[in-house]
Structure 1
Amino acid sequence: MEPTPVFCGQCHSDFPALGSDALLPFPLYRRSRPILFGFSHEQHLDPERRIDGKTGFRADCTYCHHFDEDGVFAKFPMHEQCAACHADPGIPPHLASGSRSGDCRGCHVPERIENPAAFADLQAIPQHVIAGVYDNLRFSHVAHFRVRDEYDLDCVRCHSAVEESTGLADLSLPDMLDCVGCHDTDRGVPESLRISSCSGCHLEERNGPVPASHSRNVKPPSHNESFRVEHSEPARAIGAKCYACHLNVSPSASAADQCASCHQAMRPTSHTARWRDTVHGKFAAMDRTSCAICHVADMCIRCHNQIPRSHQPLPQFMGHGHAALARLEQRACFTCHQFEDSCAKCHLG
């Protein structure tokens, strides 16, 4: 495509003079322009792609997102930040210095002409100064970065889903539960950093009921009457924040450790005194994967590498005893045995 004032003038202040000095900062809010399309945090944060094989340089969030002077918001990257990597011919799309081809379209598309769907994404992108709730916060990215080593902080701690983000509008902004996870009054943070009143976080207090996310006394909608029995799926879900309310769960704990903090002391209601000797085999036969929620892979082998008591004395069991058990519940046999290996040797002779 040949450069034209209509197309290139969207970004270049003095077309036809092309070059880095003529580029306007991107993005340009509140005006029509070609927006960045197809951007993916997932690709940029991929462990294999974010490290330069020649230099060993490792890109992180702050390499692209610089802070305002007050350190509150992280800025969107401009051409300069993108070109730092994409000037390398080996990193597509390639931004060649002084290029007259403009292949601006390698990154940008006029939203209303060639990519109507992108305009919806554009409208969904929060403005640089985020209106609404976020403009009433006492918050600073810089303050968090100063103590990131001491408290093991990184960007994903608050922007939990950004590593899976494949759209420009998905910024994975944190909510109140993310803040409570570290700044709750019962956590081990200095008193000056604890949430003790509205003014601790907000520039001005507002009238009305306290949002449900602000109170640990208000249970989430998912915590219904059956939640105690059926909470395993929500607890394993991506972005689960059990630690926001449950003080015995560390925000940095693995999924297994989060469960163990309760389940080392509490057993499921199905695990009665006779559970091990009677019905656990039937449950395992119905859905063995459910056992793996709490038990490690070799849990079964610890017992079943020995002959079960029901199989003794073995000569009598192999003769006629096993048939009686199989007639009661044949599916239980396949918890440990496979038809081809155990049954077929005799019964298909």
Structure 2
Amino acid sequence: MNTPASAEARPRIAITLGDPAGVGPELIAKLLSRPDNTAAADIILISDEAELRSAGDDAGTPIEYVTEPTPGKPLLYDNSAARPVADFERRTATEAGGQWAMSNLRHALKLARKGEVDAIVFAPLNKSSLHLAGMREQDELRWFEIILGEEDFTSELNVLPNLWTARVTSHVSLAEVDAGITRESTAAAGRLLDKVLRESGIDSPRIGVCALNPHAGESGKFGRHEIDIIAPAVGDLVADGIDAKGPFPSDTIFLRARAGEFDGILTMYHDQGQIAMKLMGFDGGVTVAGGLSVPICTPAHGTAFDVVGKGIANTGSIQNAFDLAVKIGARRKAAAAR
């Protein structure tokens, strides 16, 4: 549970409500109904009054907000001028919903570039809506890179309370995975995982590295990625002072992680880690856009059209996303003030 923080330590968090057709608005309303959450950060809501009213109706609890900065109260950054339609269609992907979600996120990223927020939390998006609205990138992380002007290695990370994963390749077809796994990209993903684990408060992260092939390649019988690429990359990480071990077969590494052997696991492709993480904690998972100049956190689940408006959306993941954004945002703010 969050505890109230002093004005000096409290980070500034921008929040967007995600795709208006999904459960995001309801989740944010429930999140902000808890006084310990609004006490933990200076919150900037990027939305409009109509969406906040609708979100409160879905959640059964109104969102309390202000339009002028007031300690302990979420501040509304009114983006109503960008609303594409008066009423959004619910429970389905639409161009209008994607436009609204992207516009609100664009404002959050603008605040981050200006140094006016320390972290961003966004409720679930729908990739079909985003593509209908004109997003041409693989996913929102690549779009964030462009808006923020990033040039360093980035990766989507997934988080459970006691375990993080990062990926060498992400939203690409399985046929493209091989080309994306190089010694350099594997080491870069490992360095990023170590960095973000440290930012989250783990001083000496322990990282396990997945093999790509069955049985870790069986000494080259099932492929040489482990011998020629992954093991040398692990050696590069160790040379950098990172506690990295592997490559280990992916069908057993998560058992070792669950037993507490690792703080983070570096996977080679999307589902290699995602299937295990969602089995281990679907209702509490968080996705972090790693490697960006601002921490960006979101629930690891989607828009859940099937439960929209029923008041039953689970808040475990959005709460964990908010808590993580507060923690990392506060540490970055403190580091910048030194």
**TM-score clears 0.5:** no
| Structure having the larger proportion of residues in helix | 2
Q: TM-score range by the shorter chain?
A: under 0.3
* Greater RCO, CA 8 A, separation 6+: 2
| Structure having the larger proportion of residues in strand | 2
Q: Larger radius of gyration, structure 1 or 2?
A: 1
Normalising by structure 1, we get a TM-score of 0.23
